[in-house]
Chain A
């Protein structure tokens, strides 16, 4: 028997049911978003896989037979598909390189102190904030062979291309689409990179300056290691967004002339809604999906390796 003076309280044990409840709460909070994703992305993705292995047509989307890999064989034998693949590769590489490099340059500029910096930071967002449809329609007029302001401006310096037909030229159409795409996307990379630049420790820069490092050396030794993960992430996002870009290309060229701006997404749309072959369109979509997944997996493998090597250093 213990007296009240010597009785010690046993440590208060937490109700295990309450601990489990706390563990379940995060899942409950993300359940609506997960449900949304499943309904609006998961189910359509499952449907796409079904269609890719079928002979479904747009006017009879629920009345089809399974045809195995026929659609994939058919698109692999189509020269237009391989042209779309090569155009997509060029488009994505140029978009990513352009948006990241220009975004980085603009971010470095905006990271300096100068008069009007805050105004510039606000203005730089405009291309990103503007609706892509509006940008595409304005670009079509700016690049018009007869009335476009681009040709008139270039003509002042004697640089207007012969004929001035940007969007109907097999050599100029893709560069024109790329310029408009990069112009629309670079503000995002610049803003994200700017945020990363502001996390670079200023004292490291100062120390490097004291050690006699020039601007390039300070960027390489101090700035770049800090912002590299952010730039890598932005690059992967730009890659995926470029793979999915539709409205700009469709409104400007519809994939023409003669397929020179025809990416996988444009090809998918044309096959599904113009030719009305849902099976082939879905097969093209699966190819695009696999490309995106492959790039994403490679990114995660490389970033995990980089993270592990940082830890073991």
Chain B
């Protein structure tokens, strides 16, 4: 009877194991049975993940580009994977860290630095013509090797509603004055991100102020959060926050929608945003000007295409990237990106300039742009960002002065490595 019980127990465990096995699902991602770059027996299927694929305006257009690639040849099929921007980084790092993940990933630039530093992307020097790329694409090079190319580069500038703004500001004092003048009757003169829920966005926004006032987050790996120029930049942002000219608590999605409805007069935002605004309301009048800061320095945000180190289809991934970097595709991409730029220098068409004259402003500031990353500490940008934004929010809430808040951030940032 003991033997029968033992057998019954083993049978129960085996049944449970079979049930659990049947319930488990196979993980997707770059590694699967196709374990060579190109499968001689048929097209190689690769996955391409990008948060931009989820945008209502630009997503389907990039999807069409992918379809064009698939139809243009028979060796590689690219399957798009859409993941929301807010969780893109954590999702990708979880998958890649676990040995899986899509074959091609369009990293947010801050996450890309970390991915590159950790060796999670393959070098792609063999498929890239350095001379054709934008100057800002040097950020994707480490130790002399290139590990990614921009999917899009979005520079920042002042975006305003010309029907509301009577005096286009050319310096910061004029910006504050115009924002106050426009804040009335349910309309806000300005808007920027300022909530914990949008930490990455707050970081981008405050970086523009710091850069614009001549500061940097770090130099050669040493944080410079207490430099006078940094203090000036943060103080300027605090001044706007306290002026009562921004819709407090509003997220970027909300205030961009308000802009589309004529309820926000000005924002400092990236070149892709006018496309988003016009997607909400095609009739919204939009104009752009150089951000009214003391210096020309301003930020840029990129999505960087990299090949997952876990992929078993590197050749197929490179084939797609090579096609993507060809002039014809870059011109198509440029056309749908609006005020953003593609990886290579593509002249704007007459039709585009007529439809969106503001794009020239975003192009003109290219020479003065910087990535939203502390110089020399790019690989720890997420941690650095958290430290700065945490103190910035305390500054906004009046819990600490600008000087004390940045001093606290400096002390904490010095412990990062």
Contacts and interface: CB of A to CB of B under 8 A. Distances in A.
B390 interface: yes
B73 interface: no
A228 interface: no
Interface in A132-149: 144-146
Contact of B5 (A24, A80, A166): A24
A258 B394 contact: yes
Interface string B7-21: 011001101110110
Contacts, number: 110
Contacts of A166: 249
Contacts of B5: 20-21, 24, 28
Interface in A159-217: 163, 165-168, 170
A257 interface: yes
Contact of B15 (A32, A145, A170, A277): A32
Interface in B83-142: 90, 93-94, 96-98, 114-115, 118, 120
A58 interface: yes
A31 B97 contact: no
B196 A31 contact: no
A239 interface: no
Contacts of B15: 32
Nearest to B98: A61
Interface string B55-99: 000000000000000000000000000000000001001101110
A31 B13 contact: yes
Nearest to A259: B390
Contacts of B1: 15-18, 20-21
A24 to B, nearest CB: 5
Interface centre among B1, B2, B8 (most CB of A within 10 A): B1
B249 A168 contact: yes
B196 A255 contact: yes
Interface residues of A, number: 42
A59 interface: yes
Contact of A59 (B12, B118, B199, B397): B118
Interface stretch (A5-13, A97-105, A118-126, A268-276): A268-276
A253 B199 CA distance: 11
Given A35-B13, A60-B97, A145-B247, A258 B197 contact: no
Contacts of B96: 59
A259 to B, nearest CB: 8
A256 B196 contact: yes
A253 B386 contact: no
Interface in A1-59: 15-18, 20-21, 24, 27-28, 31-32, 35-36, 39, 57-59
Report which residue of A27, A32, A145 has the largest number of chain B beta carbons within 10 angstroms of its beta carbon: A32
B401 interface: no
Contact of A28 (B9, B98, B195, B393): B9
Contacts of A263: none
A254 interface: yes
11 contacts: A28-B8, A28-B9, A31-B13, A59-B120, A60-B97, A145-B249, A166-B249, A167-B249, A168-B194, A257-B196, A258-B390
Given A35-B16, A170-B397, 9 more contacts: A15-B1, A20-B5, A28-B8, A31-B13, A58-B94, A145-B250, A167-B249, A274-B90, A276-B114
9 A-B pairs closest in CB distance: A256-B196, A17-B1, A32-B16, A168-B249, A273-B90, A254-B197, A59-B97, A165-B249, A24-B5
